[in-house]
Amino acid sequence: MAGAAPRRLGVVGAGTMGAGIAQLGVLAGMETVLYDAFPEALERGRERVADGLRKGAERGRWSAADADAARGRLTATAELAELGGCELVIEAAPERPDLKRELFVQISGVGGDDVVIATNTSSILVTSLAGAAARPENVVGMHFFNPPPLMELVEIIAAEQTCERALELATAAAEAMGRRPIRAQDGPGFLVNRCNRPFGAESLRLLQERVATPEQIDRIVRLGGGFRMGPFELMDLVGIDVGYEVARSFDEQSFGEPRWKPSPLQARMVAAGRLGRKTGRGWYDYSGEGRHRADDPMPPRMGGGNGRRVAIDARGPLADELRARADAAGFDVTFDGPSQLVACTQQSLAQSGSPSACGFHVLPPLDETGLVELTRLPTTAEENVRLAEDFFTALGFLIEWVQDAPGLVLGRIVCQLVNEAAFAIGEGIGAPADVDAGLELGMNHPRGPVAWSEAIGVDHVLATLDGLHAERGDERYRAAPLLRRAAALGAPIG
Ligand SMILES: NC(=O)c1ccc[n+]([C@@H]2O[C@H](COP(=O)([O-])OP(=O)(O)OC[C@H]3O[C@@H](n4cnc5c(N)ncnc54)[C@H](O)[C@@H]3O)[C@@H](O)[C@H]2O)c1
């Protein structure tokens, strides 16, 4: 349980993040001093806080009287000395290590020995900034998400030097602001950005191998995985150049971890000036009048099995759900039969020893999935292609044809998300519940990786990763020790 929240809060930098954080501070009842070195930026920040308070009152999120009282708690200043007396100062200045370190020296000067300095950096090691403060043990990371008044999550990051008092004060401040704090150890991307890395990185890998196009991968992730946005749309929104820089910083900070290698495809897009929405062209073309992509289709209605016989000869959550679904769609379901349809889980279709079969992949829970991926070989019988399409359409799924690989598209992305989470948990970067809260609240994932591993089964995840590792010979697919251990013990990773 966190201790008392600060009564007086300082916020340094009145930009997008600083103004949002100041709004949260005044609403939480803290006397809030918003400082910016540039008077125009300060004025814009003050207006942004006032607008946020007014709009919230108009929408009924708080009363007009509360908005007035909150506005009264705000002091906007271009004088650093006014930060004196603040128990907590949150730094939200531009993402430049030299600038942040200089500010830490200044804040230490006016704040006294006990002031806790929290940095909102999204990519710089907090440990590398802490040393600039007079008391490095009083430096902590407080990673808010954009926009702070709407995004519920705050990562509280412990640098190598951070003391428990600083962590508790930052946690209490976040809770008083109505945020959900999660704890993370310092390291590349902290907990949330690190655990989210496979979302983009594995998608780029799939594209490079030409397993599917960006449009297909995005559609599969939205309709098959329930994600709000596909990875390529997201890269376009964030900026492909920004993503590329983040990838390079992960690579550098980890001394070349294979999972975190930047993609040559990103580098090529940056070189071409195709940076995403901001340049009118990225993975999609935004130059026209209409939307950059077609609306997603609705899945077909389930039904039409008409008593036809289908054998589903496998065990595990997926096979059980498929049998139940086939039964509900009117098929006569049995266990044994010839393999005309092969699940591409632990191996690709090519490696399965069923040259005339069709491959498929879908992740449980099936009632939250609208799409099944199919794959075929040059040797696949046409009859099995038709059978696969008929069967999954009758089960109420859309179909996307992709190229052969263990896990196909969604299985690869989700298994790598689970794998990264297992590495992070195993390395003590964060707790399982915090990993899931982080990806659900900070990245809008439909469920966190620990919950995915429970829905899919740890065995299934490990089998897919081992299949990829064996077929690709790429160290990025080596399974996290914690995942292998969980599978051996029949235990969850959480
Ligand atoms: N924007 C995001 O999505 C996001 C999300 C999480 C974290 N962050 C991090 O938050 C920090 C701020 O980002 P932002 O998007 O709000 O930037 P921003 O450019 O909108 O705001 C930065 C503010 O700092 C002010 N500033 C510049 N030099 C200063 C100085 N010496 N002293 C005081 N103020 C100074 C600028 O005038 C500006 O108002 C960065 O570290 C960034 O990485 C940003």
> Coil, helix or strand for 140?
strand
The residue contributing the CA closest to ligand 1 atom 20 is: 15
* Cβ neighbours around 365 below 10 Å, total: 13
Query: Which candidate in 87, 155, 373, 400 is catalytic?
Result: 155
CA 467–ligand 1 middle distance (angstroms)? 44
Q: Which of 40, 42, 120 to mutate to test the pocket of ligand 1 (most atoms within 8 A of CB)?
A: 120
Residue with tokens 């650093």: 80
For helices 410-426 and 458-472, angle between their N-to-C axes, nearest 10 degrees:
100
Give yes or no for residue 17 CB within 6 A of ligand 1. yes
> Domains, the chain, ranges and CATH?
8-186 (3.40.50.720), 194-279 (1.10.1040.50), 309-401 (no CATH)
Task: Look up 122 and say whether it is catalytic.
Answer: yes
Query: What residue's CA is closest to ligand 1, atom 31?
Result: 37
State how beta strands 398-401 and 371-375 pair.
parallel
Strand partners, 372: 399
Specify the length of the chain in residues. 494
Q: Closest Cα to atom 32, ligand 1: which residue?
A: 37
* Largest CA-CA distance found in the chain, in angstroms, rounded: 80
The rounded distance, in Å, linking the Cα atoms of 119 and 130 is: 9
**One of 87, 108, 120, 122 is an active-site residue; which one?**
122
Protein residue closest via CA to atom 18 of ligand 1:
15
Instruction: Give, for ligand 1, the residue of 11, 16, 238 to mutate: max count of ligand atoms closer than 8 Å to Cβ.
Output: 16
Q: Phi, psi (5° rounding) for residue 8?
A: -120, 125
- Do the bridges between strand 371-375 and strand 358-361 make them parallel or antiparallel, or are there none, so unpaired? antiparallel
382: annotated active-site residue: no
Q: Give the CA distances from residue 366 to residues 14, 235, 324, 335, in Å, rounded to whole numbers and listed in that order.
A: 46, 28, 10, 19
The torsion of the CA quartet 83, 88, 90, 96, rounded to 10 degrees, works out to 80
Residue nearest to ligand 1 atom 7, measured at CA: 122
Find out whether the beta carbon of 15 lies less than 6 Å from any atom of ligand 1. Answer: yes
Q: How close is the Cα of 90 to the center of ligand 1, in Å? A: 11
Residue 340: the pLDDT is 87
Residues with Cβ within 8 Å of residue 340, at least 6 apart in sequence: 356, 357, 358, 381, 384, 387, 388
Neighbours of 285 (CB within 10 A): 12
Given this model, what pLDDT does residue 337 score? Answer: 66
Residue 187 token pair = 């390291």
**SS3 category, 453:** helix
- Asked if residue 14 has its Cβ within 6 Å of ligand 1, the reply is yes
CA distance 25 to 219: 39
Asked if 378 and 193 count as a contact pair (C-beta separation under 8 A), the reply is no
Q: Check if 354 is active-site.
A: no
Assess whether 444 carries a catalytic annotation. no
pLDDT value of residue 3: 79
- Neighbouring residues of 304: CB distance < 8 A, sequence distance ≥ 6: 329, 330, 393, 394
Q: What is the pLDDT of residues 74-104, one digit of tens each?
A: 999 999 999 999 999 999 999 999 999 999 9
Q: Distance between CA 469 and CA 475 in Å, rounded?
A: 7
Query: Within the chain, which residues score under 70 in pLDDT?
Result: 1-2, 337-338
pLDDT tens digits along 442-451: 999 999 999 9
From 120, 138, 193, 348, the catalytic residue: 193
Measured in Å, residue 230 CA sits from the centre of ligand 1 at 27
Q: What is the pTM of this model?
A: 0.95
Q: What is the DSSP string of 309-372?
A: EEE----SHHHHHHHHHHHHTT-EEES----SEEE-SSS-STTTT-TTSEEEE--S-GGG--EE
Give 231-255 as a DSSP string.
HHHHHHHH-HHHHHHHHHHHHHHTT
In the chain, the percentage of residues whose pLDDT exceeds 70 is 99
